[in-house]
Amino acid sequence: MNSTFPTRTRVGSTNGRSRLVFATTVGILLAGVGVRFAMPPTAEVRGESSIDALVSTPTAITCLGRIVPGDGIIDVGAIPPAIVDKLVVQEGSIVAQDDVLAFLERHEEALAAVANARAEYEGAKELLAARIAVAESELASSTVSLERIETVVPLEIRIAREQRDLKQVEHKDADLSFQRAMSLHRSRTMSKEEFEKSELARAVKAQELLISEHSLTLVEKDQEVQRTEAMSVLESRRAKLAEARASVNLAALEARVKLAEARLERTIVRSPTAGCVLRINCFGGESVDGRPLLQIGEVDRAYVVAEVYETDAKHLNIGQKARIVSDALSEELTGRIERISSLIHKNDVLDIDPTAPTDSRVIEAWIRLEDPTTALKLIHLQVDVTIERDA
């Protein structure tokens, strides 16, 4: 009996201690839970805030983008329906503004029409010039004739008048001589021959006076007739000159030339800007049918159009620096934001990650690259963009 009693006593003591340890542990846990739930809400908020403070604020904006030329890709087309006759450029050709890119159908026909219109215009112009020259020459001759009449004939009249005045004086002297001779003849102091000679001299002077008076009258009347005729011829020549100038409608022929040139220009496709031919969509003999004939891009500037999520739009500013990378680029490209779009729209550049969102709302930021050489060889390349946020 003595050997078994102590054994039960030890067993009982061990179970009691185990139950005591278990009870103590449960009590501590319950006390801890009670303390946790008994804490005021402000203490919990302060704990969470302190945790958030440990998370660093983002210093950059990351997004996708695409490489584009300076002013984007320019579609060069023609008014449909149009058929390409001949291309004068190829992909990669560098062109200046207004350079010829292609000729359309009926270009040769339009070229011939321009040549014909110009020939008609030049021929009519020469004919008109000849007619005007003849009319102007005749008018000048008539003008000279009138000037001669108005300057020379008055001199002739003055000479005729002086001749008449002289004959009047001579006739008067001859008449006085005759009167003296008559008196002497009556007094028998002059011979009959001398008297008859004096009488004849007076008759001659009278006749000469009469002739000079008739000459003066004739010259005066002739001046009036000549002046009237000259004025009539002058007016006729002026009318002929006006008729010659109006005989050819140069304005209509010139308008015809301009119309032919405009039609010719419609058969020529010119470059709207300086750049590089990126792609040709239509070749000789093909119809344009409303699609771009070819595409041109600028060669002096390159941009990355970054599609920034609308939630990051507030962090965008002009001048922010950006870094551009891609597996297709041998080195990192850099640039700065030059302009920011005002329109938010669906993203065009899709991530290769199948789990990435495909219907995101983005805003475009145009980043001008510092060195466009490499980028312009990879137009429309999808790139990864990192934009440094302002401090």
Domain layout of the chain by residue ranges:
4-52, 60-105+272-388, 110-256
| pLDDT recorded at residue 352 | 47
Tally Cβ neighbours within 10 Å of residue 355: 5
Retrieve residue 114's tokens.
């321009």
| pLDDT recorded at residue 253 | 93
Q: Are 167 and 147 within 8 A, CB to CB?
A: no
| pLDDT recorded at residue 219 | 84
| pLDDT recorded at residue 11 | 34
Q: Using DSSP, state whether 4 is helix, strand or coil.
A: helix
Number of alpha helices (DSSP H) and beta strands (DSSP E) in the chain? 6, 13
| pLDDT recorded at residue 20 | 40
Distance (Å, whole) CA 94 – CA 75 = 16
Q: Are 340 and 365 within 8 A, CB to CB?
A: yes
| pLDDT recorded at residue 350 | 52
Please name the residue that has the structure tokens 């321009």: 114
Which CATH number applies to 110-256: 1.10.287, 3.30.70, 3.90.1070, 1.10.3470? 1.10.287
How far lies 230's CA from each of 153, 326, 356, in Å? 13, 95, 101
Distance (Å, whole) CA 94 – CA 89 = 9
pLDDT tens digits for range 18-60: 444 444 454 544 444 443 434 443 333 334 444 444 345 568 9
- Give the sheet arrangement for strand 94-95, strand by strand: 74-76, 294-297, 275-280, 94-95
Tell me which CATH homologous superfamily contains domain 60-105+272-388: Efflux pump adaptor protein, beta barrel domain (2.40.30.170)
Torsion of CA 133, 139, 142, 144, to 10 degrees: -80
Distance (Å, whole) CA 275 – CA 327 = 27
What residues of the chain score a pLDDT lower than 70?
1-58, 348-359, 391
Distance (Å, whole) CA 373 – CA 302 = 8
Distance (Å, whole) CA 279 – CA 87 = 12
Distance (Å, whole) CA 297 – CA 91 = 11
Retrieve residue 225's tokens.
């007739």
pLDDT tens digits for range 98-147: 999 999 999 999 999 999 999 999 999 999 999 899 988 988 888 888 88
Q: By percentage, how much of the chain surpasses pLDDT 90?
A: 43
Q: Using DSSP, state whether 145 is helix, strand or coil.
A: helix
| pLDDT recorded at residue 349 | 60
Nearest partner of 363 among 386, 380, 347, judged by Cα: 347
Torsion of CA 268, 269, 275, 280, to 10 degrees: -130
| pLDDT recorded at residue 39 | 42
DSSP string, 157-191: HHHHHHHHHHHHHHHHHHHHHHHHHHHHHHTT-S-
Retrieve residue 20's tokens.
């005591």
Q: Are 264 and 113 within 8 A, CB to CB?
A: yes
| pLDDT recorded at residue 12 | 37
Q: Which amino acid, 193?
A: E
